[in-house]
Structure 1
């Protein structure tokens, strides 16, 4: 047989196979149009016919252009019916039996995926998930920056890593293929129907969002923990550590007035008076009652603004007197009598520096009724009595108390101690001059 005759026979066989293929395919399409289930014989026949055609079409015997175009057209129609065939035949069992190559795609068609009514809203769940995820990352960044502002510590590192991992887990589903696989395996493990997966991912993202909001709302409690650590360090004279703890507390909760007040104390110990005044002013705006006193005292010793100091101290006193009707905040562990005492003492001091010794005397005597064992009101009262030219004996008594109680732990008290020494020496000299006989020595040599 010549080559030409063989090619003619091949073309005739291929044409007959294509005709049979088209005929069975048309029968399958008519079944779908009439909404009838096709027979298994029809479905199997069409797949076997497609196998037969594939064996006829080889590299050595390629189809004609017309036959190739016809085959492509018929394959497209078969592909459209693939879901129907997959529903009718147990293709997995046939694949195990025949073991077709992957290139025989007609044996690997899949049934159409059933669309649950809830799946029609998947676009909405995905649309809502994206802004929530963006908010989660924004919250993580905001909270982490607060913890890491003063350098990481154990609590800050744990909080930052923990919330970051949770946010990444929630974002993994829509943002990465690996994340999708992890989430979907988890949902499968919980036996959650697939039509609820998008809702579950949205719920997870929303739960993380609410959790981060709750954690952000809890930051003031963590700030109070740092304040307690700062107070403990301050009592042990660990100034640098106390400074760091109060600063970290304010990073977490800028409205913590106690942290502002105690940070002002630290700056005052470090002789950074401008920073101390700034912190006291913030604490004062938060109704921290002790801030009135500390800021007023700094006005006396640093700014020499005695009028401003008196005004601040008087405002603080009035708030303290009306504490039952207005809201005030205590920013130290001092008792109420101790706070009242310090206001009276410092207001007396401010009045003395204003050249108002009578008012100074009134405030200082009230202070001594609360705490007669402190040197400062005695030293100030002695000066107030001198300014009023009171009886020398009364003045001398206050200088003696000043000298006996003063320890010179701060510059003001050290100055008053030296002044008391001078006044007592002067009084002793005057006694000698008036009597002509040296006075009997006391137990303490001033």
Structure 2
């Protein structure tokens, strides 16, 4: 019984590969060309046959895998470009483009790393978003703020879908193909998209103090206009965006004082004191004196005065005046007198008269 032509071609291909792989000496150009010609023969024979058996298909796939596994070594021996120029094989003859297979294999070998970094980046994105969303929602930053945080939120959601669902992954791959990104770069593109989103979220996180300061300034404008409720809302926005904004704590305390909500004012002044805001030492000390608790006021005012070297004349004057007042409330006239004299001296100077009266 005659051997079918395709079986014969596959056997020739297998023998050529065996000679290439089993040679005791380094592979030669002649051995490589023999393998490539054998693959040409398989292709031509297969084209002439309508039906291919499962055995033939399985054998061909296994032999092609062996050839691709040798692509890197083959590419070091043979100049494919020169051979293609002379022989003009069709573009579908991938075996004449093994240097491309080598590049693909080199890139795809790192896919496990890119996917791992993508998952780590996605986890970081989710953590940042969980931190950012409540701040903006609690702050009630208006339409602009809602749009600003909605954009990265939507991107994170889409990224999660593309990472965690098969349909999402297929959709992302189709998008990359439409953008002209080769499939072997899809893992890198996924990582790039993840890192870009991470940069956007980090940008939001980095600028939280700036957003907070903006809300604080808006609150101060409303306070100067006598709109205390609006000022309170803006200061609360500022603190939702950055709880460590000591100026916002101080300004909110001033609003609460104006609203006669002294317990709330004391709480906010205490936050500002923890942040080292000198004015807060004075105002919290004054509230303690008004609450008939000079023993709480005195250490605060002493500490505030010690850190008031760069403060304005008015702040230093107020600290001295209130410290003297607290000492008098305790009957410590001898200690109070020099402090009050210093306050009078500072307040009666030309600069003091101008600054304190305004």
TM-score (norm. length: structure 2): 0.71
Q: What does 1:210-249 align with in structure 2 at a 5 Å threshold?
A: 210-249=199-238
Higher alpha-carbon Rg:
1
Q: What does 1:190-205 align with in structure 2 at a 5 Å threshold?
A: 191-205=180-194
- Label 1:45 to 1:190 Cα distance change in 2 as closer, same or farther (>3 A): closer
Q: What does 1:47-446 align with in structure 2 at a 5 Å threshold?
A: 47=50, 50=51, 75-80=53-58, 114=101, 115-151=104-140, 153-171=142-160, 173-176=162-165, 179-180=168-169, 183-184=172-173, 187-188=176-177, 191-302=180-291, 304-321=292-309, 323=310, 336-371=312-347
Where structure 2 has 5 or more consecutive residues not aligned to the other structure, the ranges are 17-37, 65-92, 350-356
Q: How many residues align?
A: 294
Given that residues 187 and 197 in structure 1 are in contact (C-alpha distance below 8 angstroms), is that contact kept between their aligned partners in structure 2?
yes
- Label 1:284 to 1:40 Cα distance change in 2 as closer, same or farther (>3 A): closer
**Aligned to 1:149, what secondary structure does the other structure show?**
helix
**Aligned to 1:34, what secondary structure does the other structure show?**
helix
- Partner Cα distance (1:358, 1:208) in 2: 65
Given that residues 218 and 231 in structure 2 are in contact (C-alpha distance below 8 angstroms), is that contact kept between their aligned partners in structure 1?
yes
- Partner Cα distance (1:134, 1:247) in 2: 30
Alignment equivalent of 1:45, drawn from 44, 48, 65: 48
- Label 1:360 to 1:199 Cα distance change in 2 as closer, same or farther (>3 A): same
- Partner Cα distance (2:44, 2:201) in 1: 60
- Partner Cα distance (1:28, 1:297) in 2: 100
Bigger proportion of residues as helix? 2
Q: In the alignment, which residue of structure 2 is the partner of 1:33? A: 14
- Partner Cα distance (1:257, 1:85) in 2: 72
TM-score (norm. length: structure 1): 0.58
Note the aligned Cα RMSD (angstroms).
3.2
Q: Give the C-alpha shift of residue 163 in structure 1.
A: 1.6
- Partner Cα distance (2:166, 2:140) in 1: 35
**Deviations along 1:373-432, whole A, 9 cap, x unmatched?**
9xxxxxxxxxxxxxxxxxxxxxxxxxxxxxxx9xxxxxxxxxxxxxxxxxxxxxxxxxxx
